[in-house]
């Protein structure tokens, strides 16, 4: 049995201490009742990129493309802040490539980058925007050079340390696990299979 005053002081102190400990582990509690509701959670939904993975893509197939295509892709990628574009530029620089000269560079939000190269419209970005219809089952950005089939530049992303263990522990607790992502269906399915989601 406790008096109301002691309970009135203890509950906020416990909420503050628990919120502080969670914050140090990277979780932000916006309201004290969230801790109470947390006990009722039966489903956990994860984002893929940057949550279960490191969120740092690495170019995997630069050598599969003709040098001119790779240097054109590099030039277009330099005009974008998108993580895949930045990874493409880093990979191309590491391989000693130099960007082609592209005029009228324009970033189209949600699609990619386009410009003019030797009088042709060239694009680097989403598959459908570049005339590619195939989901390769991996994360990719596409280059269309105005003629011929688009070139797919593929990427990988490392699994975040502890991600597999966290999923296994949540499953052990009886939680349903779901995965959402803006990545391609194949890349998301591959990670889900790897983690047992």
- Distance (Å, rounded) from C-alpha 66 to C-alpha 73? 11
- The question of whether 47 is a catalytic residue gets the answer yes
Task: Using alpha carbons, list the distances in angstroms from residue 5 to 2, 8, 13, 14, 152.
Answer: 8, 5, 13, 14, 66
Q: Which of 86, 90, 91, 92 is nearest to 107 (CA)?
A: 86
- Interacting residues of 189 by C-beta distance below 8 A, sequence separation 6+: 137
Catalytic hit among 47, 104, 135, 183? 47
Instruction: Match 């802040």 to its residue by tokens.
Output: 81
Angle between helices 83-94 and 67-77 (to 10 degrees): 130
**Would you call 186 exposed, middle or buried from its count of C-beta atoms within 10 A (0-12, 13-18, 19+)?**
middle
Q: What angle do CA 193, 140, 146 make, to 5 degrees?
A: 150
Q: What is the largest CA-CA distance in the chain?
A: 84
Residues acting as catalytic residues: 47
């Amino acid at each position: 049995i406790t008096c109301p005053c002691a309970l009135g002081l203890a509950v906020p102190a416990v909420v503050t201490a628990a919120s502080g400990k969670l914050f140090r582990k990277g979780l932000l509690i916006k309201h004290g009742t969230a801790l109470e509701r947390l006990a009722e959670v039966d489903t956990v939904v994860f984002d893929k990129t940057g949550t279960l993975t490191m969120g740092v893509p690495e170019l995997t197939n630069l050598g599969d493309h003709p040098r001119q295509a790779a240097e054109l892709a590099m030039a277009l990628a330099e005009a974008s802040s998108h993580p895949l574009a930045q990874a493409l530029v880093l990979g191309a620089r590491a391989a000693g490539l130099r960007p082609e000269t592209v005029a009228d560079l324009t970033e189209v939000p949600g699609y990619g980058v386009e410009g003019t190269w030797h009088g042709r419209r060239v694009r680097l970005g989403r598959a459908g925007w570049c005339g590619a219809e195939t989901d390769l089952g991996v994360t990719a950005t596409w280059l269309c050079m105005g003629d011929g089939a688009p070139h797919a530049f593929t990427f990988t992303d490392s699994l975040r340390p502890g991600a597999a263990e966290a999923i296994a522990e949540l499953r052990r607790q009886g939680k349903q696990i779901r995965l959402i992502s803006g990545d391609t269906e194949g890349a998301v399915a591959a990670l889900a299979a790897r983690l047992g989601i």
